[in-house]
Amino acid sequence: MFKKILVAVASSMFALSAFAVDRSDINKSIQLKDGLTVHVFSNGKMGMEDQYGRAVPMSPGHIMETQDGNRITMVGNEVARLDGILNPPSD
């Protein structure tokens, strides 16, 4: 059972890294009031970028306020996926 979970985790990590540097996977990016940016991926999940261009975690379900006063509910928490896009491996 435990081994099965490990295999599942390993293969999903591989799937993530396979398209991690593909910026076109981001559907749209929205500026928030607090200076953060929320990136919405093609599957509807989101990743957060801070003022310094780093991928930062946010709890799914968190209510975010956009610069134009709208509210968005955080879906997913794609930190590793966004980090691969913001900081692609140099080699």
Q: What is the DSSP letter of 23?
A: G
Residue 74 lies near Cu ion (rule: CB under 5 A) = yes
Cα–Cα distance, 40 to 75 (Å, whole number): 9
Minimum CB distance to Cu ion, residue 7 (Å):
30
Number of C-alpha atoms within 13 angstroms, CB side, residue 38?
25
**Which tokens in the block code for residue 43?**
């599957």
**Binding segment (CB under 5 A) for Cu ion, from list 7-15, 20-28, 71-79, 83-91:** 71-79
Minimum CB distance to Cu ion, residue 38 (Å):
5
Q: Which residues bind Cu ion (CB under 5 A)?
A: 38, 48, 58, 64, 74
